[in-house]
A and B are shown apart, each in its own frame.
Chain A
Amino acid sequence: MELNRPVTIFLAMLAFAGGMVVAWAQTPESSQQAAPEMPQPAAPEAPAFTKRGADTCLRCHDESSKFPVLAIFKTKHAQPADPRSPFGKLQCETCHGPGGHHAEEVPEGEKQAPIRTFGARSSIPAHEQNQVCLGCHQDKARIAWKGSPHAGNDVPCAACHKVHAEHDAVLTVATQPDVCYACHKVQRAEFEKPSVHPVRFAQMQCSSCHEVHGSMTEHLLNKPTLNETCYSCHAEKRGPHLWEHAPVAENCSNCHTPHGSVQPTLLVKRAPLLCQQCHSQSGHPSVARTGAGLPGGTPSAFLLNGACMNCHSQVHGSNDPSGVKLMR
């Protein structure tokens, strides 16, 4: 059975929408604004919750504590009016779990009983930490979290996110890259190169292109393909053009590197060598260009300034009826 494309698209839309409607219809009225599901707290034999909730915790965890937490009250997690917020539910223990034992007084010199903690240095396995976060946050942006590279490498959410800070650094354009560079050290070096996307100028961030919480696209790109990711900001190169340049239409990274390059305009290599990797036609494309073509010798149009692009300037495609050679 073969369906034509418009019919398939229409049926897919109809089917998915139908499924969504079914799911909607099954949403009980009573659930409106009710608290969503949470990690299971207290089985009868489980550790007890504190007697006074956050008031118990804040007796110790004030600004002078080793683990100050008060900045959380500047964040969305501390909004009692939102039933989805931890402070709309079990306050600190929504995330940290029952803290009854942890809050018990201990003789001087002894450690408090442990409580669920978060971060790269926590003794709690990353996937267990993350399950707590995903209890509320496994929504549209995290559909593909499980099985993603970050999940597979046991990166806890709290390795990147600081929920007790007024401004979470990973959510701010200027500071996000430094959070990513903590692990992605090579990428920091790439953004130090002469030709870059403006990440070190604090005008772009890693998440401008990457969906770090999991994506079905290679390199965790936030669009279904690499080229569609690039077209988000470079729509003028999308076409389709009358005269296409095949490697361009297929994959921008055939000629460009995304983070930084020694060569201009993020090219993987400088023209004319870049173009001569693919063009061997008789005449000027296949002629070796040497230092003899530099100023002081016989300055060459095939070598200097834009080299091949001095004339073939429409390398991304042309819509000019006379643009077959990408010169118009």
Chain B
Amino acid sequence: MNRHIALLLTAILLPAMRTEAEEPEVDTSKWPCKFCEFEEGSSFTPELGVGHVSEDSAKFGEYNGLDEQGAYAVANAEARYRKEDGRWLDLSAVDLGLDSRFFGVEGGKQGRYELHLGYKELQHNLGGTAMSPFLGAGSSSLTLPASWVDGATTGDMSGLTASLQRLDLETGRRIFDLGGSFTPVTHWAFAVNVRHEEKDGTRGIGGSFMFNDSQLPMPVHYETDQFDASAAYSAGRLQARIAYHGSIFRNDDDAFTWANPYIPLDAGADAGQIALAPDNQFHQLILSAGYRLAERTQLSADVAIGQMTQDEAFLPYTINASLVTQPLPRGSLDGKVETLSGKMKISTALAPTFRVNASLSYDERNNQTPQDVYDWIRTDSGPAAPRVNLPYSFSRSAAGIDAALALTPNLRIHAGCNYDEYHRDLQEVESTNEGACWGKANLDAGDLANLSFMWTYSQRTGSAYLPNPDGTPAQNPLMRLYNLADRDRNEAKLRVDLTPAAAFNVGLDVRATWDDYFSSTVGLLDGNSWSAAADCGWAISEKVSASCYVSHDLVKSRQANAELLAPTPLWFGSNHDETDSIGAGFKYGASEKFDLGVDYSYSRTTGEVAIKNAVEGFPDLATRMNSARLYVHYTPRKNLTLRFSWWNESYRSEDWALDDVLPTTIDNVLAFGQQGPDYDVNVFALSGRFEF
């Protein structure tokens, strides 16, 4: 049976299989619920106040809107309305005084319908120390000042220092969300949701003329509309859902151009153009169903059929008028990718102590984009050998089975195997397959302790590794791309949860992974990761509680490289990242009127990059972050709470890729001069929360 027919059978059979459950019959006529404090009426709880940020820091305010020094308004609110017949309305406003804020309203009649409306802004600060001589940041055309003097290198650009201006690299999302769900009859639920997102701002991108590069402020003016609609049925043994998901992306800028700040190496190369993200669409139909075949046997299935399309009009090969170009093979890509995802799982408890799960899945990315020959121009500078575009397709099939057996009421063992097979076209390996088997033991010593240990072994192998005939220029024949390469992987996980006393608990989570790319001579050779995290919670008394955590994380790998004709690796490199973090919290609820809390966290990271036998190595990459928070809440009367908070966070970083790299540091990169983040910020806030 082919997959199309299987898909059809799933679609036909699952919704039609339905059963009804019986209703209970209990006489509740003498259950007046007179002590039940059902909520009725309305309440409004605004929180108003003022806060202050002690210094500018794009990194501290990367997402939270606290990136600028100065005062800000604390403005939050909640409102509720409840009516006896089930009608309700909730309003929520969070951080209205900041650039990252949220406002939402939802309501309806419980059990019949719900409507929601949301508005969210999310600021993303990408760096506060960038500088650029380009004019028109945020637009699709970057120019240089009239006084600009081209240079062969950045150091030769005599007008550069005087032309530098501060750049605010940041983007902001504005998300509008409108939707509702309806339950017109029992067992059925319908939902629709429309989401409109605008993303505006400026981010960095590199643009080059041959080997002369500039960091450029790229305009971001995106709009994305998402539509979701679904109908769901749920009763007795069956749950089924049919849903549509649509996503339409539009970019106001199809390209941007910039003036060449270097002395052009090629005639006419005095400006460049880069294509920006093209408008595109994705439409998907999703069918899901779950059916209880027997008391302890559940069948679940998902089928998702989608199509991505992109047909933005092509830019010309170049804006360099001195170059003669061939006609484009087509006016736009007519790009089309069909996606198919089908998954099925059966879970059964063959006995109360023995469970088995089995699953099958199939994912496909079928790229039907036409292939053509493109007589491309290299960086608006000169012609290059024609190339054919490579629309990549792949499919993935997977199967898995696992079983869990409770040997005793306290000891359970769990084991399973998975098989995963990829088929790809236009790549070096036509098919890869990976088999994995795992075992897990879990010891549950009741309230005192819970321990589990899991080990997984997997091996990935592939069909013959053939250098891509369409890949130009060619790779060293020993190269094995790591996502296609043969690999042995071992994984171990240990988890311990101890509760030596009812009020005290300790947990430990340790994970390790060892990867060995055993057929690779050039490329990624091996990689290890190791994480250990522990936490604790202590309810010291009814009024006092404390918590803590500590963790260590390590990621490292080794690789080798060699140019095309080298018969053996010419060099070896390694990467070694470590993260340590520690934190503690303390809460004291002194009385109904007064409570306070303190949280502290510290994290440090180091990154080591090394080239074996290199005379000159790299300094460590490093970050250090200290963060302390204090809050005090005082409730002098029932409808008023005064809130005070203090937050201190300091951050230090050492990053050799950024530190001391000024606009003229690299001869052939006109850089932003952006330095690694470094801040020590205090945020104070005082507010009153009122209840009406």
Known A27-B185, A193-B579: A186·B531 in contact at CB below 8 Å: yes
Contact across chains for A147 and B111 when beta carbons are under 8 A apart: no
Taking the complex as formed, is A240 at the interface, i.e. its CB lies under 8 A from any CB of chain B? Answer: yes
A269 neighbours in B (Cβ, 8 Å): 557, 575
Contact across chains for B303 and A12 when beta carbons are under 8 A apart: yes
Q: A308-328 CB contact bits vs B (8 Å, 1 = yes)?
A: 011111100011111111011
Q: A233-254 CB contact bits vs B (8 Å, 1 = yes)?
A: 0011111111110110111001
Contact across chains for B318 and A192 when beta carbons are under 8 A apart: no
A80 neighbours in B (Cβ, 8 Å): 33, 38
Cα–Cα distance between A13 and B308 once the two chains are bound (Å): 18
Q: For residues 256 through 296 of chain A, which have their beta carbon under 8 Å from a beta carbon of chain B?
A: 261-263, 268-270, 273, 276-283, 286-292, 294-296
> Max chain B CB contacts within 10 Å: which of A59, A282, A309?
A282
Taking the complex as formed, is A217 at the interface, i.e. its CB lies under 8 A from any CB of chain B? Answer: yes
B35 neighbours in A (Cβ, 8 Å): 54-55, 58-59
- Interface stretch of the complex, out of B135-143, B144-152, B241-249, B457-465: B241-249
Taking the complex as formed, is A47 at the interface, i.e. its CB lies under 8 A from any CB of chain B? Answer: no
Contact across chains for A309 and B666 when beta carbons are under 8 A apart: no
Cβ contact of A31, chosen from B186, B310, B507, B577, cutoff 8 A: B186
A41 neighbours in B (Cβ, 8 Å): 24, 26
CB nearest to B328 among chain A residues: A321
Cα–Cα distance between A16 and B14 once the two chains are bound (Å): 8
| 10 tightest A-B CB contacts, nearest first | A19-B15, A147-B347, A37-B21, A53-B31, A81-B86, A320-B275, A82-B111, A189-B551, A185-B533, A236-B277
CB nearest to B84 among chain A residues: A81
Contact across chains for B33 and A54 when beta carbons are under 8 A apart: yes
Taking the complex as formed, is B192 at the interface, i.e. its CB lies under 8 A from any CB of chain A? Answer: no
Contact across chains for A282 and B618 when beta carbons are under 8 A apart: no
CB nearest to B341 among chain A residues: A224
CB nearest to A75 among chain B residues: B39
Cβ contact of B36, chosen from A87, A144, A238, A290, cutoff 8 A: A87
A250 neighbours in B (Cβ, 8 Å): 365, 392, 394, 424, 483
Cα–Cα distance between A16 and B286 once the two chains are bound (Å): 10
Q: For residues 329 through 367 of chain B, which have their beta carbon under 8 Å from a beta carbon of chain A?
A: 333, 335-339, 341, 343, 345-347, 355, 357, 359, 361, 363, 365, 367
Q: B214-253 CB contact bits vs A (8 Å, 1 = yes)?
A: 0100000010101000111111101111100001010100
B553 neighbours in A (Cβ, 8 Å): 186, 189-190
CB nearest to A240 among chain B residues: B335
CB nearest to B300 among chain A residues: A144
Contact across chains for A263 and B607 when beta carbons are under 8 A apart: yes
Contact across chains for B657 and A305 when beta carbons are under 8 A apart: yes
Cα–Cα distance between A2 and B661 once the two chains are bound (Å): 60
- Interface stretch of the complex, out of B5-13, B260-268, B681-689: B5-13
- Interface stretch of the complex, out of B46-54, B158-166, B562-570, B631-639: B562-570
Cβ contact of A186, chosen from B234, B314, B551, cutoff 8 A: B551
Contact across chains for B575 and A273 when beta carbons are under 8 A apart: yes
Cα–Cα distance between A128 and B298 once the two chains are bound (Å): 16
A322 neighbours in B (Cβ, 8 Å): 317-318, 374, 376-380
Contact across chains for A53 and B483 when beta carbons are under 8 A apart: no
A79-B111, A85-B111 given. 5 additional CB < 8 A pairs?
A: A12-B11, A37-B235, A270-B621, A280-B561, A321-B374
Cβ contacts A to B, 30 pairs, < 8 Å: A9-B305, A19-B16, A20-B240, A20-B242, A34-B186, A36-B21, A36-B235, A37-B22, A40-B22, A53-B28, A53-B31, A55-B31, A140-B189, A140-B232, A144-B302, A147-B346, A198-B64, A224-B286, A236-B251, A244-B391, A269-B557, A280-B475, A282-B563, A291-B619, A305-B671, A306-B215, A320-B274, A321-B376, A322-B318, A324-B384
Cα–Cα distance between A204 and B609 once the two chains are bound (Å): 31
Taking the complex as formed, is A90 at the interface, i.e. its CB lies under 8 A from any CB of chain B? Answer: yes
Taking the complex as formed, is A26 at the interface, i.e. its CB lies under 8 A from any CB of chain B? Answer: yes
Q: For residues 30 through 86 of chain A, which have their beta carbon under 8 Å from a beta carbon of chain B?
A: 31-38, 40-42, 49, 51-55, 58-59, 70, 73-74, 76, 78-85
B196 neighbours in A (Cβ, 8 Å): none
Main secondary structure of the interface of A (DSSP, over half): loop
Contact across chains for B559 and A273 when beta carbons are under 8 A apart: yes
Contact across chains for A146 and B347 when beta carbons are under 8 A apart: yes
Q: A159-200 CB contact bits vs B (8 Å, 1 = yes)?
A: 000000000000000000000011111101110111000100
**Smallest Cβ distance from A195 to chain B, in angstroms?**
10
**Smallest Cβ distance from B331 to chain A, in angstroms?**
11
B308 neighbours in A (Cβ, 8 Å): 238-240
Cβ contact of B657, chosen from A52, A139, A146, A307, cutoff 8 A: A307
Contact across chains for B2 and A1 when beta carbons are under 8 A apart: yes
**Smallest Cβ distance from B341 to chain A, in angstroms?**
4
CB nearest to A142 among chain B residues: B239
Contact across chains for A16 and B249 when beta carbons are under 8 A apart: no
Known A19-B11, A254-B483, A288-B571: A147·B298 in contact at CB below 8 Å: yes
Contact across chains for A8 and B4 when beta carbons are under 8 A apart: yes
Cα–Cα distance between A254 and B447 once the two chains are bound (Å): 41
Contact across chains for A216 and B302 when beta carbons are under 8 A apart: yes
Contact across chains for A310 and B208 when beta carbons are under 8 A apart: yes
CB nearest to A301 among chain B residues: B669
CB nearest to B249 among chain A residues: A235
> Max chain B CB contacts within 10 Å: which of A54, A278, A297?
A278
Contact across chains for A235 and B37 when beta carbons are under 8 A apart: no
A193 neighbours in B (Cβ, 8 Å): 579, 603, 605
Known A146-B347, A242-B389: A78·B38 in contact at CB below 8 Å: yes
Contact across chains for B186 and A5 when beta carbons are under 8 A apart: no
Contact across chains for A15 and B551 when beta carbons are under 8 A apart: no
Cα–Cα distance between A251 and B422 once the two chains are bound (Å): 12
Taking the complex as formed, is B489 at the interface, i.e. its CB lies under 8 A from any CB of chain A? Answer: no
Taking the complex as formed, is A113 at the interface, i.e. its CB lies under 8 A from any CB of chain B? Answer: no
Cα–Cα distance between A35 and B21 once the two chains are bound (Å): 11
Cβ contact of B122, chosen from A147, A203, A262, A270, cutoff 8 A: A203
Cα–Cα distance between A198 and B102 once the two chains are bound (Å): 15
Contact across chains for A31 and B185 when beta carbons are under 8 A apart: yes
Contact across chains for B239 and A33 when beta carbons are under 8 A apart: no
Taking the complex as formed, is A138 at the interface, i.e. its CB lies under 8 A from any CB of chain B? Answer: yes
CB nearest to A289 among chain B residues: B611
**Smallest Cβ distance from A157 to chain B, in angstroms?**
16
Cα–Cα distance between A36 and B233 once the two chains are bound (Å): 12
Contact across chains for A270 and B657 when beta carbons are under 8 A apart: yes
**Smallest Cβ distance from B102 to chain A, in angstroms?**
8
Contact across chains for A139 and B232 when beta carbons are under 8 A apart: yes
Q: For residues 128 through 159 of chain A, which have their beta carbon under 8 Å from a beta carbon of chain B?
A: 138-140, 142-144, 146-147, 151-153
A251 neighbours in B (Cβ, 8 Å): 483
B410 neighbours in A (Cβ, 8 Å): none
Cα–Cα distance between A37 and B234 once the two chains are bound (Å): 11
Cα–Cα distance between A46 and B551 once the two chains are bound (Å): 50
Cβ contact of A238, chosen from B20, B185, B234, B280, cutoff 8 A: B280
Known A16-B287, A240-B280, A295-B660: A277·B239 in contact at CB below 8 Å: no
B31 neighbours in A (Cβ, 8 Å): 52-55, 91
Q: B75-117 CB contact bits vs A (8 Å, 1 = yes)?
A: 0000000001110000000000000100000000011100000
Cα–Cα distance between A256 and B108 once the two chains are bound (Å): 41
B490 neighbours in A (Cβ, 8 Å): none
Taking the complex as formed, is B176 at the interface, i.e. its CB lies under 8 A from any CB of chain A? Answer: no
Contact across chains for B551 and A1 when beta carbons are under 8 A apart: no
Contact across chains for B665 and A73 when beta carbons are under 8 A apart: no
Cβ contact of A321, chosen from B317, B363, B570, cutoff 8 A: B317
Known A79-B86, A324-B387, A325-B378: A188·B549 in contact at CB below 8 Å: yes
**Smallest Cβ distance from B86 to chain A, in angstroms?**
3
Known A216-B302, A305-B669, A322-B317: A27·B188 in contact at CB below 8 Å: yes
A238 neighbours in B (Cβ, 8 Å): 247, 249, 280, 282, 308
Q: A79-101 CB contact bits vs B (8 Å, 1 = yes)?
A: 11111110111110000000000
Contact across chains for B234 and A138 when beta carbons are under 8 A apart: yes
A198 neighbours in B (Cβ, 8 Å): 62-64, 122, 124
Contact across chains for A3 and B475 when beta carbons are under 8 A apart: no
Contact across chains for B404 and A152 when beta carbons are under 8 A apart: yes
